[in-house]
Structure 1
């Protein structure tokens, strides 16, 4: 399937088939794809937690507001974290990145406020989200990106030292009766001339 066809067919799943689980082979592929996600200066200020164990998944579902039914029925929940410790990040890039990338950080990012630096970290994690959603669709896996989670409670439920949860993605296979799928509810997007401009 072409990438354009994937873009036309993928959608935010609202109802999952709780009886259908993603194979371990495909989960391993998704983990590797996330590891290979792009980030500015190859900064990789993230961690990703895959949850399939039912008790933990249900606990997270209960602190995910209106997303609870989706998480409970989905095969897995993936929680995306951004690093929240600037000295730890600086030590990481000093150890793993070339001098030019570290110099870029020191010149353009390090002088910013703590809030601005952490916002930059979080922007990188959102890049991985887009990569991940496309990867899921390429594997015929349905997905639901969710900012509607209780961040503080997620931090307590799945604490990662020096990292902060940002959002989660439920993944699995749609219920055949899901009313949000494109075959039932056609995609609605702005017209090309509204969002695309060409120069030259």
Structure 2
């Protein structure tokens, strides 16, 4: 299946088969894909928490509003968090990035207000999210990205010092009666001419 076909067939899963689990080798592949995610200046201001423990998954599900059934039935839950301490982030980039990348940050990002710096850090996490959803589809794994989570409760449950959860992704295999799958409900998107400009 080529990438276009993956984009056409991938969808946000609404109902999972609770009896089907993702194999360890596929989880290892996803870990490496997450590690290789792109970010501006290779900043990597993130932490990815992969949850398979049923008790922890259910605790997170209980603070996920209407997403609880998906999380409980999914094989795994992946939590995408952004670094929430600018000081810790600056220590990290000084230790791991080349001087030119650090200077870019110090010149163009650091002078901004704290809220804008943190927004920039969070934007990098969303780059990894897009890559991850496509990667899961390429492995035949269904997914559900969810911002409908109580982020501070997630932070507490997962003991994420210096990191703020932004989005969670349920992973697993669809229930064959999931009404949202493209074979039962056609995907809808705006027309190309409304969203893409060619100059």
TM-score (norm. length: structure 2): 0.99
Partner of 1:191: 191
- The equivalent residue for 2:35 is 35
Q: Corresponding residue for 1:45?
A: 45
Paired with 2:69 and 2:161, the residues of 1 have a C-alpha distance of: 29
Return the offset for 1:38: 0.3
- What is the aligned-residue RMSD (CA, Å)? 0.5
Distance 2:73 2:115 in 1: 36
In the alignment, the residues of structure 1 paired with residue 177 and residue 71 of structure 2 have an alpha-carbon distance, to the nearest angstrom, of: 17
Offset, 1:155: 1.3
Deviation at 1:117, TM superposition (A): 0.4
Provide the TM-score with structure 1 as the length reference: 0.99
CA distance in 1, matches of 2:73, 2:166: 21
Deviations 1:117-163 (A, max 9, x none): 00100000000000000000000100000000011111111121111
Number of aligned residue pairs: 199
4+ long deviations beyond 3 Å: none
Shift in Å, 1:167? 1.0
Quote the residue 1:84 is aligned against. 84
In the alignment, structure 1 residue 69 sits paired with structure 2 residue 69: yes
Residue ranges of structure 2 left out of the alignment (5+ in a row): none
Task: Please name the residue that 2:93 is paired with.
Answer: 93
Whole-Å separation in 2 of the counterparts to 1:90 and 1:42: 13
SS of alignment partner, residue 15 of structure 1: coil
How far apart, CA to CA, are the structure 2 residues paired with 1:44 and 1:191?
34
Q: Secondary structure at the match of 2:186?
A: coil
